[in-house]
A and B are shown apart, each in its own frame.
Chain A
């Protein structure tokens, strides 16, 4: 990666290099060797570990026997965003972590094989699925992210007329906008969007429900509604100096790099990232690749308590990101022009007490305040809830987490279902793309059952 002195400027070349996909895909020979290493377990633990239950041994056997279309179909049949998940899934926590070869030799590189198969599908341009015969029912989906796309795909295969209302100009949600390009190029997510559109699903982009179209219209025009609007940007951190120039929202920062060179300037700057989740890591590595001179992650707890995955942490370390553990930001310091000049922090210590979430409680060390001199602060302390939208739909919720029936994903309004991050509650680990995809599928199956009185699984219509 290009690490430059503060004197040079950030060039399009550097952007291309620094934001190109970091991990190379498998070669054909690599894929053949790796796929042949798979034991083809019966009742395989990798399948059980996959939230979307991809038949992993089967898709791998299809690679080994040169049936790439069949392999891609097997993956995408279970997971409509299987190409993105091949890149962003925490595989060592899921399928690869469950692989029986972990202790025997080394787990099968399921993520890379899944990427190999879905890359084949992307490059070949083959259509993997077809829409079902129209059943006359219509479903509106609010939000075109992983959950919404998955619900749409499954409903379209069952013959529903589906319209997705997407607030942004491009569908795909977090996969399109919120994950750094060097892990997930936007083109992958947009291919998944295109696959759903090819089943006749209409995606109305740039339409905000409750503003551009009323809830009443939606409820009158559709048999069912799926709310899959995810979460919003980063909420205020609640310390002084948040409005200074040079304070950035981590999600907006990542988003600004997804379609081209961002306008914000981090070249040569010292950057602090507040938070220690996966988005915080993304924001930190993004900052490094935008030419920041120094990037520190500031976290009030320790490595043990951080929620980012191990592979994310390792990736950030390799990018040269530094970590300030047990450091609590108190105030963002600015100059008379309103620009950030520093971050005032206080040192913390773990008390030994365990909090409600099972993690050790940190306490400030009296008199340990200090100022970290820097030019930019990126805030990555979580995401805002879409309370306004949920209220506009008149749904019961708990601090912005929509109440649903766990089995059917049905909300307090029987016409409305909800899936994805909008139903994701705290204390339930990390919100994952793959879980959102599964919830979208399940909501779709519940609708199929409700409106067609059918079995709760979609009968495959592979091409």
Chain B
């Protein structure tokens, strides 16, 4: 059994599995149930001036008969008085002293308001603070959440105000609803953030009911944009984590959030630079018990890989993620179809024929059996056939040794500009 414990910017947790600030962390009852189930930490549902929520609040995107590929909400921060939340945080921390409880905070962007809430919350004993600069709906209209998270100067200023009084580690939670997340991440760090967490939800409209023509969700026939999360957003979250992890101007621990539903997702986020992760949608879908399979899967994986601690995963793939301009133009892979595993669905053929480079032929072999064959000289190694192939082990992507030395676009441009001073196509970064 590997050591699953983590230390994220000074916040210790028995495992990397935290609940994100969201409906599952609304009350002490819920967080205590979560800790009993095995969650290592919880970011409490955002504290602030209690709000009034609407009904209904959630909608989901289902895909090909599977429920909840993506999830959308228009719920706001806590609707309960601060003193009630603080009392329950106190009771929960007392019962679970070794678990991480982080208070998510959101107030109006003034120094006074931030000082006040930080002092009150830290007074009852939390392990850290997470500043919610990400919520894309409802609070943004009041100048909070994503509205401040989209302005690097406001992020920096508010982080600074918090750090002026905070005694526990401060995590700044970032919104993905921005062009370049590293800009805001750097601002948070300049403001003194001890860590960053990402991503908050993405602006979304879950759908339109094609029969009633109402939005999903809707409140008495009227809808508004919400925040999107769940498995569908994982690649977006992962890329943002990776961009921050490899940005030297960021350089603080990352708490990864966005569509994490399995232990494999956790491994991916940690390999891409996350020190720990947060989960919400998977719990909304399946309940707290889902953590049992996540812990067990992660444990077995670490044992299989011979890793003594989960922290050995952190950032191991970051160096393998760079810019397009740094990719080797001379590297070549081609698809190869293994007849013995092929089930002849012809999905590869039609995908290649209609959407790629027309290099998979439907043939008949000497025994009269239908076979599929790649014309390797025309294959560009795009992976499409192996992506659509439903049969295990039927298509391999094989690297071809072509003898050419590695050459990236950026290297090529340098050579060209050194040969011809007037040629000045930009590097790709």
Contacts from A to B (Cβ < 8 Å): 32-33, 35-36, 39-45, 64, 100-101, 103-104
Closest to A31 in B: B65
Known A32-B65, A43-B362, A64-B64; judge A104-B390 contact (CB<8 A): yes
Q: With A and B bound together, what is the CA distance between A35 and B66 in angstroms?
A: 12
> When chains A and B are docked, how far (Å) is the Cα of A311 from the Cα of B391?
28
Contact in complex: B350, A42 (CB < 8 Å): yes
- List the B side residues contacting A64 at CB < 8 Å: 64-65
Residues in B whose Cβ lies below 8 Å from that of A101: 343
Nearest chain B residue, comparing its CB with the CB of A36: B65
Question: Complex Cα distance A45/B66, Å?
Answer: 26
B343 in contact with A104 (CB, 8 Å): yes
Asked if B383 is at the interface of the complex by the 8 Å CB criterion, the answer is no
Residue contact B64 to A104, C-beta cutoff 8 Å: no
Task: Give the chain B neighbours of A40 by CB distance below 8 A.
Answer: 347
Closest-by-CB residue of B relative to A32 is B65
B350: which A residues are within 8 A, CB to CB?
42-43
**Other CB < 8 Å A-B pairs besides A39-B390, A41-B344, A103-B343, 4 of them?**
A41-B345, A44-B346, A64-B64, A104-B390
Task: Name B residues whose Cβ lies closer than 8 Å to a Cβ of A.
Answer: 64-66, 343-347, 349-350, 362, 390-392
| B-chain residues with CB within 8 Å of residue A39 when the two chains form the complex | 345, 347, 390
Residues of chain B with a CB closer than 8 A to A104's CB: 343, 390-392
Contacts of B362 in A (CB 8 A): 43
Known: A39-B390, A42-B350, A43-B362. Is A100-B343 also a contact (CB below 8 A)?
yes
Cα of A33 to Cα of B66 in the assembled complex, Å:
9
User: Is the beta-carbon distance between A42 and B345 smaller than 8 angstroms?
Assistant: yes
Partner of B349, one of A36, A42, A103: A42
Chain B residues with Cβ below 8 Å from A43 are 346, 349-350, 362
Q: Cβ of B347: which chain A residues have Cβ within 8 Å of it?
A: 39-42
Output the least CB separation between A110 and chain B (Å).
15
Output the least CB separation between B338 and chain A (Å). 14
Q: Which residues of A have CB within 8 Å of B66?
A: 36
Once the chains are docked, how many angstroms separate the CA of A26 from the CA of B343?
A: 27
- Which residue of chain B lies nearest to A104 when distances are taken between CB atoms in the complex? B343
A42: B residues at CB distance < 8 A: 345-347, 349-350
Nearest residue in A to B210 (C-beta to C-beta)? Answer: A66
Taking CB atoms, residues of chain B closer than 8 Å to A103 are 343
Contact: A36 with B64, CB < 8 Å? yes
Helix, strand, loop or mixed for chain B's interface?
loop
What separation, in Å, do the CA atoms of A146 and B344 have in the docked complex? 33
Residues of A within 8 A of B391 (CB): 104
Instruction: Give Cα A103 to B392, complex, Å.
Output: 11
Q: A104-B390, A104-B391 are in contact. Are A41 and B64 (CB under 8 A)?
A: no
Residue among A36, A41, A64 with most chain B CB within 10 A: A41
Give 18 CB contacts A-B under 8 Å: A32-B65, A36-B64, A36-B66, A39-B390, A41-B344, A41-B345, A41-B346, A41-B347, A42-B345, A42-B346, A43-B346, A43-B362, A100-B343, A100-B344, A100-B345, A104-B343, A104-B390, A104-B392
CA distance A39 to B347 in the complex (A): 8
> A34: nearest residue on chain B (CB-CB)?
B65
The smallest beta-carbon distance between A451 and chain B, in angstroms, is 38
Interface centre among B64, B343, B391, B392 (most CB of A within 10 A): B343
Report the minimum CB–CB distance from A419 to chain B (whole Å). 30
State A35–B390 Cα separation when bound (angstroms).
16
* Min distance, Cβ A173 to any Cβ of chain B, angstroms: 36
Q: CA–CA, A103 to B341, complex, Å?
A: 10
B254–chain A nearest beta-carbon distance, Å: 36
Q: Which residues of A contact B343 (CB under 8 A)?
A: 100-101, 103-104
Partner of A45, one of B64, B65, B344, B390: B344
Name which residue of chain A comes closest to B350, CB basis. Answer: A42
Which residue on B lies nearest to A101, using beta carbons?
B343
Chain A residues contacting B392 (CB-CB under 8 Å) are 104
Residues of B near A36 (CB, < 8 A) are 64-66
Chain B proximity of A203: nearest CB distance (Å): 39
What separation, in Å, do the CA atoms of A92 and B64 have in the docked complex? 26
In angstroms, Cα B67 to Cα A33, docked, is 11
Question: Can you name the residue of chain A whose Cβ is closest to the Cβ of B353?
Answer: A42
Shortest A62–chain B CB gap in Å is 14
Contacts of B346 in A (CB 8 A): 41-44
Q: How far is the CB of A36 from chain B (nearest CB, A)?
A: 4
Bound Cα distance from A36 to B67, whole angstroms = 13
**Closest residue to A102 on the B side, CB-wise?**
B343
Chain B residues closer than 8 Å to A41, beta-carbon distance: 344-347
Instruction: For the complex, give the distance between the alpha carbons of A43 and B346 in Å.
Output: 7
Cβ of B390: which chain A residues have Cβ within 8 Å of it? 39, 104
State A40–B345 Cα separation when bound (angstroms).
Answer: 8
Measured CA separation A39–B65 after assembly (Å): 14
Residue of A nearest to B394 (CB): A104
The distance from the CB of B85 to the nearest CB of chain A, in whole angstroms, is: 40
B65 closest partner in A (C-beta): A36
CB of B350 to closest CB in A, whole Å: 4
Closest to A35 in B: B65
Distance to closest chain B CB from A432 (angstroms): 24
Q: Which 8 A-B pairs have the closest CB atoms?
A: A42-B350, A36-B65, A42-B346, A100-B343, A41-B345, A36-B64, A100-B345, A32-B65
CA distance A102 to B65 in the complex (A): 22
Q: How far is the CB of A375 from chain B (nearest CB, A)?
A: 52
Q: Which residue of B lies closest to A100 (CB)?
A: B343
Complex: how many Å from CA A88 to CA B287?
45
Nearest A residue (CB) for B348? A42
CB distance from A454 to the nearest CB of B (A): 31
> Are A33 and B65 in contact, CB atoms less than 8 angstroms apart?
yes
> For residue B390, which residue of chain A has the nearest CB?
A39
CA distance A413 to B337 in the complex (A): 53
Chain A residues near B345 (CB-CB < 8 A): 39, 41-42, 44, 100
Residue of A whose beta carbon sits closest to that of B66: A36
How far is it, in angstroms, between the C-alpha of A101 and the C-alpha of B65 when the chains are bound?
19
Residue from B345, B346, B391, B392 with most neighbouring chain A CB atoms (10 Å): B345
Which A residue's beta carbon lies closest to that of B391? A104
- Identify the closest chain B residue to A66 (Cβ): B210
Alpha-carbon distance between A418 and B349 when the two chains are bound, in angstroms: 40
Find chain A residues with CB under 8 A from B344 CB. Answer: 41, 45, 100
* Complex alpha-carbon distance, A35 and B64, angstroms: 9
A424 to chain B, nearest CB (A): 27
- Measured CA separation A101–B350 after assembly (Å): 18
Q: Which residue of chain B has its CB nearest to the CB of A40?
A: B347
CA distance A41 to B349 in the complex (A): 10
In the bound complex, CA of A104 to CA of B64 (Å): 20
Q: Which residues of B contact A44 (CB under 8 A)?
A: 345-346
- Could you say which of A35, A42, A100, A104 has the most chain B C-beta atoms within 10 Å of its C-beta? A42
Nearest A-chain residue to B389, judged by Cβ = A39
